[in-house]
Structure 1
Amino acid sequence: MAAPWDVIVVGGGNAGLCAAQSARQEGARVLVLEKAPRQWAGGNTYFTAGAMRTSHGGPADLKDLLAPLEPSAQDRLSLTDLAPYTAADFLDDLVQVTRGRTDVDLARILVGESRATMDWLRDLGLRFELMYHRQAYEVDGRHRFWGGLAVGVAGGGKGMIEQHLAAAARTGVHVRFDAPVTRLATASDGTVNGVVLAGGEALESRAVVLAAGGFEADPQMRAAHLGPGWDLALVRGTPHNTGDGIRMALDAGAQAYGHWSGCHAVAWDAGAPPTGDRELTNQLTRGGYPFGVVVNTDGRRFVDEGADFRNYTYAKYGAEILRQPGGTAVQIFDAKAARLLRPEEYTSKDVTSVTSGSVRGLARELRIDEDRLASTVEEFNAAITGGPFNPTVRDGSRTEGITPPKSNWAQPLDTPPYTAYPVTCGITFTFGGLRIDPDARVLNTRGRPVPGLHAAGELVGGLFYFNYPGGSGLTAGSVFGRRAGRSAAAAAAARVG
């Protein structure tokens, strides 16, 4: 074998780079192996909006975390309503959206360390901002945040990876691209002591951290674990997350854990490429559906668009779209709703859309039965009741007497022009993966740590079931990446001793 490293990290996204930095801070010699070529750096992190859910005490608590504020930004902050979001709030959201199945031990670590981990990332050189463009609306002259999510990395996912790689260069973390790992190297007693790359090259290390993502980019694994039709879903992010890290860990005796038939999947532009677009990245998401209606190709509604804030429904509605005829649907808005749609999602270049002065005109353009779509919209408009519209709260402006209902933000579609956005299912990451302990050590099928093996990021199972609170993934990757790196460095040091 080649000269040993203390810690090898498999995967160069946010979780892997956090693990590498954490191990490096403990004095370890660290190598990051990234399967993709340099031009695909960053894994799924690159394709995110950079949003990070964290507990906080409101604007005063977050001010030190944010990038230096220009005078205009300081003025805006004085006109901002942002309620505290406690660790208890975060945990409640995790428990609610996962129907009580989240691993509470892991969840408590996630929420309890979320804020301190943001400070740690800031000290590494990452820069944060309040996400006014995604998470706030202006109401009565005030910028009001909603849905428990406020902070993101400056520059989104692209900026996050750029800042992470710059930090790695400063701190002496070695990153090697075009380095696909095919299996773990193990001693006769099962201790992991390195990795083997495609082509047979072996690299020795005293500990390994797996942070190679889920299996969302492997159509065969999707169909096998998520079910029929999932091989047809579009992939939001990197084409390189094909379950390699999970498979090699299972081969080494790791325990499978979590919701293997579940995933994070969203409404995605129906004209998008099969895997992520490096220029548009997250702009292909279509998250404005709470302010319109969503119909299938038969012209019928099939979800409660206003069941909750987008942050608590968007990650499960992609699966609902995939279940519809042809695996596609259409989001429809009138002119009133247009001002609430995020420009980066709905007006960026190459957006798949149709506009008409009438609902029937939309139907003709979309090749949906005119009478059926017109009837759906008329029934929806007639069923609206409740209080005044307010996009920053669950406003109770709802429908009665139709199925499915719309529980909030129901406004009549009656103001032309009308615009329709064809969408399909875009899968982000899979929920099933490996079981870890609080120190991010991978556990075997008997519940004991696999010596020398640690994990973080999307290939960790047990946190998310059925659904997902927006912004939790990057935070989880950071929190457990930090723990995995520290734990791996300690294991490496113990083996030297």
Structure 2
Amino acid sequence: MNDWDVIVVGGGNAGYSAALSARNSGAKKVLIVEKSRQSNDYRGGNSYFTAGAFRTVFDGLSDLLPMLHELDDETASLIDMEPYTSQQFYDDVMRVTSGRADPSLTHLLVSKSRPTITWLHQLGIRFRLSFHRQAYKVQGRYKFWGGMVLSTVDGGKGLMNQWEQAASACGIHIQYGTQCVGLFVDSTCGKVTGIQVVCQDPKSSTLLQCTGGIILACGGFEASASLRAQYLGPSWELAHVRGSPYNTGDGLVMAQRDCQAASAGGWSSCHSTCWDLNTSPHRGHQELTNQFTKSGYPLGLMLNCDGLRFVDEGMDFRNYTYAFFGKEILKQPGGVAYQVYDSRVLDWLRKEEYGDDVVEKVVAYTLEDLAEKLTLTDQDESGAQGNRKQQGVLRNKQQFIRTIQQYNKCVYAHRQLVPHLTWDPAVKDGLSTQSSVSELAIPKSNWSLPLDKPPYVAVKVTTGITFTFGGLAIDPQTSNVLNTSGAPVEGLWACGEMVGGVFYENYPGGSGLMLGAITGRNAGIHAAKASRKRQLPSGKL
């Protein structure tokens, strides 16, 4: 069968949101075209590799309790959770994007976040509180911070398993191993009525047609080294791909080429993070997925290969800085940095990211020994002396030691002036390096503890790219793609990472999956409506 009511290109969170929405809005024949093969674990796009975090407006713990799994009454009684208001959410988006976010799209993201969470829950998506990433247990109480508290059970893996179950239950067809290579536009009316696809098994090229239209949900261009270099700039071809190897910008290229779709958003910026250096540059790991993220930097320091700090590790909560700091690592020599901790904070590091079975640690009992170990190159597996791994080698031991010693001096000076302040990773505690006595050129504004209690641990990190911020311009209310004249492209919608206009340079954690579900739901509703309109006699809806 090649005649459908609605065709969705891409089988991630946004694509399934669109498909389920279209099916529940009256589209009887809904197809998801998925580039990956069913037999491998790269299906689900980047959504599979996430922690499953959804940022939403909520009115305290009681508002979320009806949809929470894995929460017992005893644990619930130990939780401190402030409401997260619409104004806070809106302000957070505007703050981290320096006011560049499109107001209409941002309002859509904020206003539809909580209703969409309820809709997802009704479809079978299971949520839990994100204790492991967004809370610290301080003085016997769980304190959530940064406005983001929800994640899906079993993270991105669980999210995609639940989506597949929901799609199967309502009869949505998924065609794997199928790459969309072009949009078919009816020359008589300018409407998008189908897609040209290349199927892998057996190898063939086919035109798939639909009455309602096409929903593009096939992600950005983060897995294309050439497009990264073209749009993001020099060295970006060296970034490590955190997730799917299939997000190569196909949908963006097709929409612009075949429909003159308008672009929007930060095409020279992206979501990235501190990522384990010892990973494949080209694709994520199907089992460990998001565990290669190294987000503990607010508890320690980050230094480059010249032994210098380059960011304010305590500038803000992790979920407001990691997408920005990831890019800063790529600007450092070799695109590498060291996260350095001492014994004061080792137990506070997330085990899923810093466990001995997840990350390679460099351990020493003096700063001098730590610096020495970081200057050593790794022999290859044969033990040959001539072929050595140079990436991640410290180039200036003395500067590395001086940087940490100067940091410690400033921390102690600040402590003497404000002895009443208490270290608390769940709030911006004000423990800083800056005082009237001494200060650093690059401060650490919060959570500044001395780094002088051995053992010392260093972890090598690089830039891991998650998704690109540039995308297509859409009508916020319908997700209908707009062309370069500002008019809707009939029969074409976009959702998820395909949509540009909200994120620039940075983004608030958890808002990507949330925007994908919202825009996907809108696209499905309106594509189904278009399909019904085509099928009914003229003038009857």
TM-score tier after normalising by the smaller chain length: over 0.9
Separation of aligned partners in 2, 1:190 and 1:417: 67
Separation of aligned partners in 1, 2:288 and 2:356: 8
1:236 and 2:242 aligned: yes
1:442 and 2:444 aligned: no
1:263 and 2:265 aligned: no
In the TM superposition, what whole-angstrom CA distance separates every residue of 1:315-337 from its partner, at most 9, and x where no partner exists?
01111000000000000000111
Matches for 1:203-352 after TM superposition, within 5 Å: 203-206=208-211, 207-251=213-257, 252-274=259-281, 275-347=283-355, 349-352=357-360
1:374 and 2:401 aligned: yes
- The equivalent residue for 1:56 is 58
Segments ≥4 residues shifted beyond 6 Å: none
Of 189, 199, 205, 1:200 maps to 205
Separation of aligned partners in 1, 2:397 and 2:229: 35
Of 460, 465, 470, 1:422 maps to 460
Separation of aligned partners in 2, 1:3 and 1:212: 20
Q: 1:350 to 1:154 in 2, by over 3 A?
A: closer
Is the contact between residue 216 and residue 428 of structure 1 (CA under 8 Å) also seen in structure 2? Answer: yes
Q: CA deviation at 1:434?
A: 0.2
In the TM superposition, what whole-angstrom CA distance separates every residue of 1:283-306 from its partner, at most 9, and x where no partner exists?
000000001000000111010000
In the TM superposition, what whole-angstrom CA distance separates every residue of 1:52-90 from its partner, at most 9, and x where no partner exists?
100000110000121264xxx211111100000011111
Q: CA deviation at 1:352?
A: 2.5
Tell me which moved more, 257-266 or 340-349.
Answer: 340-349
In the TM superposition, what whole-angstrom CA distance separates every residue of 1:329-379 from its partner, at most 9, and x where no partner exists?
000000111121100000052412211111111111111333211111110
Separation of aligned partners in 2, 1:326 and 1:68: 43
SS at match of 2:449: coil
Matches for 1:1-400 after TM superposition, within 5 Å: 3-28=2-27, 29-38=29-38, 39=40, 40-67=42-69, 69=71, 73-188=72-187, 189-198=189-198, 199-206=204-211, 207-251=213-257, 252-274=259-281, 275-347=283-355, 349-367=357-375, 368=394, 369-384=396-411, 385=414, 386=418, 387-400=421-434
Separation of aligned partners in 1, 2:97 and 2:362: 35
- Count residues in correspondence: 493
In structure 1, runs of 5+ residues without a counterpart are none
Is the contact between residue 33 and residue 177 of structure 1 (CA under 8 Å) also seen in structure 2? Answer: yes
Separation of aligned partners in 1, 2:139 and 2:463: 36
Supply the AA of the counterpart residue of 2:260.
G
Separation of aligned partners in 2, 1:373 and 1:259: 35
Q: 1:444 to 1:348 in 2, by over 3 A?
A: farther
Supply the AA of the counterpart residue of 2:113.
S
Q: CA deviation at 1:495?
A: 2.0
- The equivalent residue for 2:507 is 468
SS at match of 1:27: coil
Q: 1:110 to 1:348 in 2, by over 3 A?
A: farther
Separation of aligned partners in 2, 1:19 and 1:349: 38
Is the contact between residue 360 and residue 373 of structure 1 (CA under 8 Å) also seen in structure 2? Answer: no
Separation of aligned partners in 2, 1:447 and 1:378: 57
Is the contact between residue 380 and residue 399 of structure 1 (CA under 8 Å) also seen in structure 2? Answer: yes
Separation of aligned partners in 2, 1:140 and 1:169: 46
Greater C-alpha radius of gyration: 2
Separation of aligned partners in 2, 1:214 and 1:352: 31
Separation of aligned partners in 2, 1:21 and 1:91: 27
SS at match of 1:7: strand
In the TM superposition, what whole-angstrom CA distance separates every residue of 1:215-250 from its partner, at most 9, and x where no partner exists?
000000000000000001000000000000101110
1:490 and 2:490 aligned: no
In the TM superposition, what whole-angstrom CA distance separates every residue of 1:123-166 from its partner, at most 9, and x where no partner exists?
11111000111111111111000011101000100000000000
Supply the AA of the counterpart residue of 2:206.
E
SS at match of 2:369: helix
Separation of aligned partners in 2, 1:159 and 1:7: 26
SS at match of 1:482: helix
Separation of aligned partners in 2, 1:314 and 1:340: 18
Separation of aligned partners in 2, 1:93 and 1:56: 15
Separation of aligned partners in 2, 1:229 and 1:272: 17
Separation of aligned partners in 1, 2:76 and 2:131: 10
Tell me which moved more, 2-11 or 218-227.
Answer: 2-11
CA RMSD across the alignment: 1.0
Of 443, 450, 468, 1:412 maps to 450
Q: 1:350 to 1:129 in 2, by over 3 A?
A: closer
Separation of aligned partners in 2, 1:291 and 1:68: 28
Is the contact between residue 352 and residue 358 of structure 2 (CA under 8 Å) also seen in structure 1? Answer: no
SS at match of 1:107: helix
Is the contact between residue 270 and residue 352 of structure 1 (CA under 8 Å) also seen in structure 2? Answer: no
Q: CA deviation at 1:479?
A: 0.8
Q: CA deviation at 1:487?
A: 1.0
